[in-house]
Structure 1
Amino acid sequence: MQTAVADTSIRAYRQAKKAGEMEPRQRQILAVMAPYPADYSLQELKKLTGLEVNVLSARVNELREELCKVERGPARACKVTGKTIRPHRLPHPQGALF
């Protein structure tokens, strides 16, 4: 299903993406994430932020793939579901030096 979106809205969205600006939800996610080596599953982030998993998934993917603010950690069990997951974490603060 497609909805009508004003050209100005689309233009503003694309300009924000190009500028690398973070959305409020992206900032909210980063604000609850503790420094390296802490890592989080989407379910754990849901408990911390109150955001739904589908919102978290999209924003975390943007933070990881487009903005390089988040990385994947080694596999472990989720503290909420017990399932094996690849958690998300903030990069090591000195990672850029290597």
Structure 2
Amino acid sequence: MHTQVAHTSIRTYRDIKKDGTIGTRQRQIMLVIQPFPADYSLQELCELTGLPVNIVSGRVNELREDLGELERAPARKCRITGRTIRPVRRPHPQGALF
């Protein structure tokens, strides 16, 4: 489903991207993520970073899909919500060898 995005929202996103805000938020998230095999739900990352879920979700998607810094981990229950989730984690450091 596609929705209409206001031109002001698009302009703001581009401005944020230019001034490095997105990179800063990505680094903030990566700083709390421990090495493989630790994994995190979005809610757990919100708790660790103090950022709202809408920011965490967008940055995690960028880190996973665009940059390859994160990968999906096996499903488990979220420690905060109790719901079954697909957490994210850092890739195995020797993953490229296998």
Structure 2 length-normalised TM: 0.81
Counterpart position of 2:74: 74
Aligned length: 90
Counterpart position of 1:55: 55
Identity %: 59
Q: Could you say if the C-alpha distance between residues 2 and 76 of structure 1 is closer, same or farther in structure 2, counting changes exceeding 3 Å? A: same
User: Using the alignment, how far apart are the partners of 1:90 and 1:58 within structure 2?
Assistant: 17
How far 1:97 sits from its partner (Å)?
A: 1.2
Indicate which of 2, 8, 24 corresponds to 2:7. Answer: 2
Write the letter of the residue equivalent to 2:76.
R
Counterpart position of 1:19: none
Counterpart position of 1:94: 94
Write the letter of the residue equivalent to 2:77.
A
Structure 1 length-normalised TM: 0.81
Deviation sequence 1:36-89 (CA, Å, 0-9, x none) = 000000000001000000100000000000000000000000000000000000
Q: Could you say if the C-alpha distance between residues 11 and 87 of structure 1 is closer, same or farther in structure 2, counting changes exceeding 3 Å? A: closer
Unaligned runs of 5+ residues in structure 1 are 17-21
Runs of 4+ in 1 over 2 A off after TM superposition: 9-14
Q: Secondary structure at the match of 2:34?
A: coil
